[in-house]
Amino acid sequence: MQRKKSLVYLGACALAVFCVLSLTGLPAGNDVIILPEFGSDAQFPLHKISDSRGRLWMKIMSDKSQNKTRRGNKELEYHFQSDINNVAIETDEDYNYYYDDEADEDDDDNKRALRDPHGMKPDRLLLLDESSFADSQQRDVETQIPNYRVSHDPRLHDNPATQIQIPALPWEPGEVRNQKGVPLVVGKTFWSPEVEDLVPEGNAETVHDDIVEKVHALDVAEMRPPEWNRCGRPLNQFVVLSDATEFCARYRYPHEKLVHGEVLSYYLSKLLGFDSVPIVVLSVVNSSQWRHQNISRAGWQPGKVVALIQWKDGVETRRSRVRMPKALLEAYENRSSFSSASRQFPSLSANDLSSLVQWSDLILFDYLTGHYDRVASMQDGADRENKSSIMHENIRNLRQVWQSGKLWLIDNESGFRDAYEMMFNGREAGQKFVEFHEHVLNSICVFRKKTVAKVAALAAESDPHLVLERFAAMHDPLYERLKWSKNGYELFKYQFHKRLKRVVEWVRHCGQL
């Protein structure tokens, strides 16, 4: 009976704390909360942390779990997956936790697990009131996270009062929902999982492995001249392997830097987790797999490297042509940003959202590679002709599978080498393309969280250019045959890192709008 009374009393205390916090807000600075049930020495210091999701966490730990998680006198770190910044706070506490976005099965959205890097976690978490952060446009939310400790008190362990769950508000900070209540944007800057699920699948990882294996094992059975809507330039060829797998063979000698750009762009897409860039495999002209073909008739020289690029059926039809989404085009033309605050959101269809998610990846991809022959070439045409309506036309080197809406980013030879050398040569024409890319990047402020995380991880590397090159060489041994000019390599080394950091900077800016 006494234990039941204690539990009821503890529950009442916790509820009282919640009510006080709801009405008055959490104490700031070095304030403490005291629960009388545990004596006057049971003081709970509060610490501040920036949480872009606006969640208020009260951590209650038993002595047992404290002992398990003791790591020495360190900084307390909370890593929030919804924010690309890891925030550290100096404290005399002995814990080191990160935010685990994959909660236990018995945890719902209101009770995520805070785990330490060694797998331990607090005994209980209590989500406090979020009402003070209900405004979806709340900026720079400063969340108070109390660090609850009760020394040597068994009453806390398995106490139902510590498991009180406060229902989350239907609208979280930075969250946008449609009229049916389905989340569209979370954390102000990221597409919701529900929206990402609308995007059709592209190349699975196994498809890459299968195609590479085929190229290395099978002979070329047929070579056909290119057409305007299939493989393009005269020296390119439409190639069919002995198992009927089809490719565009890109032959660019003596301008092999374009082959270099094609393969580097593809492996960047793999590093970023994209499935929308056709697979690229290098081959040497006149190697054994070409023995049944008359390569001289194609105008090729033996011993040169060609890029075999996966052919996607249906991308040569009129219905495969793609225009910029209206919501994004409006932001572009107004020199504003399509963001979680954009008025178009309530009227966007599932197809609109799927397209916008894919365009958000496309924009980051083309910005990083410097691709000048897709959206940027349209911008150049509009600028040269003083005709803004050009941006309303079909986008170059972008196709879709019209039945599903899956976008394919084709013809990426202008990425990296040729693009960087053109943009950063100190000439006015190159500077224009730098500005074109900045304009398009600035037109969008909603991205895939996983894409941003991978860009941020690359940006954090001291030599991201080496990470990309080693990744390409690991997957395609012929990559080493593609040689850099000294100036080209220095540009790649410097500008790639700079552009990675610029993307991270822009996403941070978007989170503060």
Q: Round to whole Å and give the CA distance between 355 and 327.
A: 10
Q: Do 233 and 196 have their domain in common?
A: no
| % of residues, the chain, pLDDT over 70 | 66
The residue count for the chain = 513
Q: Is there a contact between 289 and 236 (Cβ–Cβ < 8 Å)? A: no
Question: What local confidence, expressed as pLDDT, does residue 45 receive?
Answer: 40
Question: What local confidence, expressed as pLDDT, does residue 287 receive?
Answer: 78
Q: Do 141 and 189 have their domain in common?
A: no
Q: Round to whole Å and give the CA distance between 364 and 476.
A: 24
Q: Do 504 and 398 have their domain in common?
A: yes
Tell me the pLDDT band of 110, cut-offs 50, 70 and 90.
very low
Q: What is the tens place of the pLDDT at every residue in 439-476?
A: 999 999 999 999 999 999 999 999 999 999 999 999 99
* Mean pLDDT in residue range 249-254: 93
Assess whether pLDDT exceeds 90 at residue 408: yes
Assess whether pLDDT exceeds 90 at residue 276: yes
Question: Which of 310, 334, 351 delimits the end of a domain?
Answer: 310
Q: Do 155 and 239 have their domain in common?
A: no
Provide the domain count of the chain.
3
Other C-beta atoms closer than 10 Å to the C-beta of 3 total 9
* Mean pLDDT in residue range 140-169: 31
> Which residue shows structure tokens 């969280």?
449
Question: What local confidence, expressed as pLDDT, does residue 327 receive?
Answer: 97
> Which residue shows structure tokens 């070329």?
220
Q: Do 325 and 299 have their domain in common?
A: no
* Mean pLDDT in residue range 273-298: 92
Which two tokens mark 314? 């249906």
Q: What is the tens place of the pLDDT at every residue in 324-382?
A: 999 999 999 999 999 999 988 878 999 999 999 999 999 999 999 999 999 999 999 99
Q: Round to whole Å and give the CA distance between 503 and 483.
A: 28
Phi, psi dihedral angles at 179 (to 5 degrees): -65, -20
Q: Do 432 and 349 have their domain in common?
A: yes
For 305-457, list the strands marked E by DSSP. Answer: 305-310, 398-401, 406-409
Distances (CA, A) of 145 to 7, 44, 150: 24, 10, 16
Q: Do 397 and 470 have their domain in common?
A: yes
Residue 499 within a domain:
yes
Phi, psi dihedral angles at 356 (to 5 degrees): -65, -40
Question: What local confidence, expressed as pLDDT, does residue 316 receive?
Answer: 82
Residue 177 within a domain:
no
Residue 468 within a domain:
yes
Which two tokens mark 24? 């008055």
Distances (CA, A) of 35 to 9, 39, 40, 148: 11, 7, 8, 10
Assess whether pLDDT exceeds 60 at residue 319: yes
Q: Round to whole Å and give the CA distance between 476 and 280.
A: 9
Q: Do 156 and 236 have their domain in common?
A: no
Lowest mean pLDDT among 12-26, 170-184, 291-305: 12-26
Tell me the pLDDT band of 6, cut-offs 50, 70 and 90.
low
Question: What local confidence, expressed as pLDDT, does residue 16 receive?
Answer: 52
Q: Round to whole Å and give the CA distance between 303 and 305.
A: 7
Which residues span the domain enclosing 296?
Answer: 205-310
Question: Which of 310, 337, 371 delimits the end of a domain?
Answer: 310
Q: Do 347 and 296 have their domain in common?
A: no
Q: What is the tens place of the pLDDT at every residue in 262-271?
A: 999 999 999 9
Question: What local confidence, expressed as pLDDT, does residue 10 receive?
Answer: 53
Q: What is the tens place of the pLDDT at every residue in 220-245?
A: 999 999 988 889 888 999 999 999 99
Question: What local confidence, expressed as pLDDT, does residue 314 receive?
Answer: 82
Distances (CA, A) of 83 to 44, 79, 143, 259, 493: 26, 8, 13, 37, 27
Q: Do 112 and 58 have their domain in common?
A: yes
Question: What local confidence, expressed as pLDDT, does residue 347 receive?
Answer: 86
Q: What is the tens place of the pLDDT at every residue in 42-88?
A: 443 433 333 334 433 333 333 333 333 323 332 222 222 222 233 22
Q: Average per-residue pLDDT in the chain?
A: 74
Assess whether pLDDT exceeds 70 at residue 148: no
* Mean pLDDT in residue range 116-129: 32
Residue 241 within a domain:
yes
Assess whether pLDDT exceeds 60 at residue 154: no
Question: What local confidence, expressed as pLDDT, does residue 323 receive?
Answer: 98
Residue 248 within a domain:
yes
Tell me the pLDDT band of 101, cut-offs 50, 70 and 90.
very low
Assess whether pLDDT exceeds 70 at residue 193: yes
Residue 418 within a domain:
yes
Q: Do 446 and 360 have their domain in common?
A: yes
Residue 327 within a domain:
yes
Q: Do 259 and 189 have their domain in common?
A: no
Q: Is there a contact between 223 and 246 (Cβ–Cβ < 8 Å)? A: no
Question: Which of 285, 310, 335 delimits the end of a domain?
Answer: 310
Residue 178 within a domain:
no
